[in-house]
Copies of this chain bind each other. A is one copy, B any other.
């Protein structure tokens, strides 16, 4: 498997460490770079995280703009300036920086949520809400498509 899938809820220990779920670790290892690249998600209280693939994505985004151009500087400031590469200890744990925790309102437990090429880290309660809301929206959209019979028995919300 080379994508982040499923979700896991884990605890921070007294030193603020969290284990990265085993299945995610093996995806990260495949990318072949030590450390976990993460940054505050732009438009939600969550942390975006991943390995070299995610870094490459950000780099490509910034690379579109000319060196020293205003836009590039701003992108770099907002993206590189707020991202960090967390060290992963021998047991596969990381320590979330205060800044990341504040952004996601994380205190003692976190939910890891696989999004394919990257994953997000949420405060579990907020994740549940977000999920419910997303499900709701999907359902509404399905409803609009109601004329098409396929949508009627929407496969619906898993979990």
Q: Interface of A with B (CB < 8 Å)? A: 1-7, 31-32, 35, 42-44, 52-53, 56-57, 59-62, 67-68, 70-71, 73-85, 97, 113-117, 120, 130-131, 133-135, 137-139, 141-142, 153, 156-159
Nearest B residue to A3, CB-CB: B80
In the assembly, what is the distance between CA of A133 and CA of B159, in Å? Answer: 33
In the assembly, what is the distance between CA of A156 and CA of B31, in Å? Answer: 13
14 A-B pairs besides A5-B81, A77-B115, A78-B138 with CB distance below 8 A are A3-B80, A5-B80, A6-B83, A31-B159, A42-B135, A42-B139, A43-B139, A44-B73, A57-B67, A75-B134, A77-B134, A80-B115, A81-B134, A116-B153
In the assembly, what is the distance between CA of A3 and CA of B80, in Å? Answer: 9
Give every chain B residue within 8 A of A82 (Cβ-Cβ). 6-7, 131, 135
Give every chain B residue within 8 A of A53 (Cβ-Cβ). 157-159
In the assembly, what is the distance between CA of A40 and CA of B24, in Å? Answer: 20
Q: Is the pair A80, B116 in contact by a Cβ cutoff of 8 Å? A: yes
Q: In the complex where A31-B159, A53-B158 touch, is A7 in contact with B81 (Cβ < 8 A)?
A: yes
Contact of A117 among B6, B32, B157 (CB under 8 A): B157
In the assembly, what is the distance between CA of A133 and CA of B7, in Å? Answer: 33
Give every chain B residue within 8 A of A73 (Cβ-Cβ). 44, 115
